[in-house]
Amino acid sequence: MAPIRVALVGLSQSAKTSWAAQGHLPYLFSPRGRSQYEIVALLNSSASAAEAARDSFALPSNVKAYGDPNDLASDTNVDLVVCCTRVDTHSSSTGPSLRAGKAVFIEWPLVQDYKEAVALAGKKRLDNTIIGLQGRVSPIVIKLKEILKSGRIGRVLSSDVHTYGNLARRDSFSEGLSYFADREVGGNPITIAYGHTIDYVHEVLGEFSSFQSRMQIQRPVIGVHDKDGSRIKERSTNVPDLLVIHGKLAKGKANIADDATLSFFYRNGPQFKGSPGFVWTINGELGEVMVTANGAYVHSDSYKDPIEIKVHDHVTDEVVDVEWNWEDWQKELPYRSRIVAELYERFARWWAIGKPTGDLPDEQEWPRLHDAVIRMEELDEVFRQYDAQE
């Protein structure tokens, strides 16, 4: 198979955040990645910025440099456009390529709100797209789905998630991420940390049929700190830093009781010192599963410390550890790139077999833009309830 020709949007030597470099490049630069993908173009705020990124990351001189999304959309030598920019530029950066029929990989959140998500992607299935909700294909989620499918804990009666966004401080953001305090931008701890986590929880347990939520802004004035950690200014925030949600799980997933309840607690900032930053329990008729990690980033950063899966067998009263592991090729990549790489792998496999439409076996599926629209609709309802709460 000829390599899939990739255009990266947002790879920048001066970017405030470096997800394109840390989450995508390690796989695309690896021997395995190079055998299936080739970077052929960059799109930045200007052609000169794209050229500077090309030089900074030692890409070949024949990699095209674009500053206009419409010019990129017209390039017939690009197969897949990968967007890693700030969320409020996703639509303008990728819309022309989507309309031109190109395959598109957009990082999460899809766009700044649900209305814009529908405008960009519609609600129909878009097979040649990827959304960066990579937690769905993480080894932890794959193992949990195996446990539930096996019937080991019987029907699921309830589930509880308690987690913290502890990559950020409780009372400040870095200067480059100060827009997290502006709800209109669309990228913030609720949409990102909570959004990623609730998505892979739904992947295991299914969607809510209904839910109630409450959010709170505990610190209406937060600090902004520089790279050295020094507080340089303060600003107000209109983004909640606490979310509590509970609801009934919809029928449809195997081994889920008809009246099963899912409850979720998220708070931005560190957890109580010495305690886990992420605890997820799934309570069944025959047993209970517990997952513990260092924070709300099972989709990316939590793997620097052990993530444990344990099963309590209610019949024998024994607690046993459940082993999980990375694929050998994933172990050669840094943690942040490993699950993103699995998205690329699944897309490349689909591309190689002729881009079939319709459902694939579960182990070959990946999240697409229409899946992101569903998650954006859920977040829209969470914020609607917040705006209406007393």
Candidates 39, 153, 60; CA nearest to 105 is 39
Ramachandran angles phi, psi of 174, nearest 5°: -70, 160
Q: pLDDT class for 77, splitting at 50, 70, 90?
A: very high
C-alpha dist (Å) from residue 231 to 169, 182, 183, 270, 353: 12, 18, 22, 18, 53
Q: pLDDT class for 359, splitting at 50, 70, 90?
A: confident
Mean pLDDT of 172-179: 92
Mean pLDDT of the chain: 96
Mean pLDDT of 262-283: 97
67 forms beta bridges with: none
Q: In what order do the strands lie in the sheet with 319-322?
A: 208-216, 242-249, 256-268, 156-165, 278-284, 287-293, 308-313, 319-322
CA gap 173, 217 in Å, rounded: 15
Residues 6+ apart with CB under 8 A from 45: 67
Mean pLDDT of 184-190: 97
pTM value is: 0.96
For residue range 248-259, what is the model confidence (pLDDT) as tens digits?
999 878 789 999
Mean pLDDT of 114-127: 94
Is 80 exceeded by the pLDDT of residue 387? yes
Q: pLDDT class for 228, splitting at 50, 70, 90?
A: confident
Give the DSSP letter string of 295-354. SS-TTTTGGGS--EEEEEETTT--EEEE-----TTGGGS-HHHHHHHHHHHHHHHHHHTT
Mean pLDDT of 28-53: 97
Q: What is the pLDDT of residue 229?
A: 82
Give the DSSP letter string of 51-69. HHHHHHTT--TTSEEES-H
Q: What is the pLDDT of residue 17?
A: 58
The H-or-E segment that residue 176 falls in is: none
Is 60 exceeded by the pLDDT of residue 16? no
Q: pLDDT class for 18, splitting at 50, 70, 90?
A: confident
Considering the chain, what percentage of its residues have pLDDT values greater than 70?
A: 99
CA gap 233, 103 in Å, rounded: 42
Residues 6+ apart with CB under 8 A from 182: 188, 237, 238, 239
Mean pLDDT of 350-358: 93
3-state helix, strand and coil shares in percent for the chain, rounded to the nearest 5: 35, 25, 35
Phi-psi region for residue 339, left (φ > 0), alpha (ψ -120 to 50) or beta? alpha
Please give the angle made by the CA atoms of 100, 105 and 110, to the nearest 5 degrees. Answer: 100
In the 3-class helix/strand/coil scheme, how is 96-125 assigned residue by residue?
HHHHCCCEEEEECCCCCCHHHHHHHHCCCC
For residue range 317-344, what is the model confidence (pLDDT) as tens digits?
999 999 999 999 999 999 999 999 999 9
Residue 342's Cα: distance from chain center in Å? 13
**Residue tagged 């899912």 (tokens):** 262
Q: pLDDT class for 15, splitting at 50, 70, 90?
A: low
Is 90 exceeded by the pLDDT of residue 232? no
Domains, the chain, with CATH or none: 4-133+331-366 (3.40.50.720), 136-322 (3.30.360.10)
Mean pLDDT of 127-139: 98
| Beta-strand pair 129-132/103-107 | parallel
For residue range 203-221, what is the model confidence (pLDDT) as tens digits?
999 999 999 999 999 999 9
